[in-house]
Amino acid sequence: MSNNVIAGAFGTLAVDARGAATARGPEPQTFQKDIKVFPNWPTDSNAKFGGLLAYGNFLVSSSIRDNAVEYLRITSQSGGKLTFTNPWPGKTMEYYADGVHKGTLSGTTIKLNTSVGETIDLAPADTCLATVQRELAQPAKSATTSSLTTGFETGQPQPTWTDAVDNVDTHGDGNYGITGLCCGLSGPQAAVRTGEQAHTGDAALMYSGYANGGSYDHAYMQVYGFNGAPLTVRGETTLSYRILPQSNATTPWVSAGSNDSTCVAVDLIFTDGSNLRDAGSGLHPADQCGHLTLDTWNHVTVNLGALKAGQTISKILLGYDHPDATGGYRGYVDDLSIG
């Protein structure tokens, strides 16, 4: 029985006359008009495809990263019954139709009635439509990458985490003695802010916390994760970022005369379990105390190639470290790049 091969944006989809299909590369499978994305996909292999035609009607787009499907978008060109297999087995998913949240779906095989031109967006539970749209716009990640550049602006790589302490790569002790800066905050912060301070554009990563005088006061916050596509350090690779530590002159939450906001640095976790802060003189956040200029954008660069050539980065952290400190700290990081 002959196959009809339908060209797609990132490959081909072979559909035989019975409706059975064999995926060639990262494309959806269709069996008895049941669309399946990334079935039996190899672990630790990121992939992405867009606009592949299934059954002469449905345009299918999807992405898999860190062994998890990020989203599934299906556009119905002529309407009719849509059948697909849940990409998140045993879990519920968010359901959007033409940009409107329709609630959640669950089950193994999902069937929906579609109208002409309707676009269905599906994502893991608690995923907003803006996240799906951002993931659709981002290029696919290969098994390893060698660069990252972001000013935290819309359309640029966004942090993996928000206000998340690293309790894994800092041996379960990512936060010691640091509480929220003010206003009922539950802990230290590291999150994108817009319309406040920025070196370029309108967005930057804001950090804050309050040290309580402990002999080991520190907070290491998770920012970016690359477990499925770690960043490779080459001989010429450099870490670069801008940092603006605030004083009492620009925020009331930092005590007058305090330099606590300067005790901050970007830290890296490597896939061998080592980190950047202990790799050489002056790289530790505590070494920055008093060396950065308050209320000014400081440019920090690190020659990663000289220290870690050949290694791969699994995570980017932002660390505050100032033993015996008491009081608040706050500031911004912008224009982060590794490459």
What was the pLDDT predicted at 172?
Answer: 67
pLDDT, tens digit (0-9, with 9 covering 90-100), for 214-249: 999 999 999 999 866 788 999 999 999 999 999 999
Confidence of residue 199 (pLDDT cuts 50, 70, 90): very high
Report the candidate in 62, 57, 10, 19 with the shortest Cα–Cα distance to residue 39. Answer: 62
pLDDT, tens digit (0-9, with 9 covering 90-100), for 113-151: 999 999 999 999 988 888 888 777 766 555 566 789 999
Mean per-residue pLDDT for 51-76? 86
What is the 3-class SS of the chain, one letter each residue?
A: CCEEEEEECCEEEEEECCCCEEEECCCCEEECCEEECCCCCCCCCCEEEEEEEECCCEEEEEEEECCEEEEEEEEECCCEEEEEECCCCCCCEEEEECCEEEEEECCCEEEEEECCCCEEEEEECCCCHHHHHHHHHCCCCCCCECCEEECCCCCCCCCCCCCEECCCCCCCCCEECEECCCCCCCCCEEEEEECCCCCCCCEEEEEEEEEECCCCCEEEEEEEECCCCCEECCCCCEEEEEEEECCCCCCCCCCCCCCHHHCEEEEEEECCCCECCCCCCCCCHHHHCCCCCCCCCEEEEEEHHHHHCCCEEEEEEEEEECCCCEEEEEEEEEEEEEC
- Residue 330 forms beta bridges with which residues? 208
Mean per-residue pLDDT for 164-170? 89
What was the pLDDT predicted at 48?
Answer: 82
* Neighbour order of strands in the sheet with 3-8: 3-8, 11-16, 21-24
Tell me, rounded to whole angstroms, the distance of Cα 55 from its chain centroid: 33
What was the pLDDT predicted at 283?
Answer: 87
Domain boundaries, the chain: 3-137, 148-338
pLDDT, tens digit (0-9, with 9 covering 90-100), for 259-287: 999 999 999 999 999 999 999 868 899 99
Q: For 148-338, CATH number?
A: 2.60.120.260
* Neighbour order of strands in the sheet with 47-54: 47-54, 58-65, 68-76, 119-124, 93-97, 100-105
Report the candidate in 80, 131, 121 with the shortest Cα–Cα distance to residue 101. Answer: 121
Return the CATH superfamily for domain 3-137. Golgi alpha-mannosidase II (2.60.40.1180)
pLDDT, tens digit (0-9, with 9 covering 90-100), for 283-318: 899 999 999 999 999 999 999 999 999 999 999 999
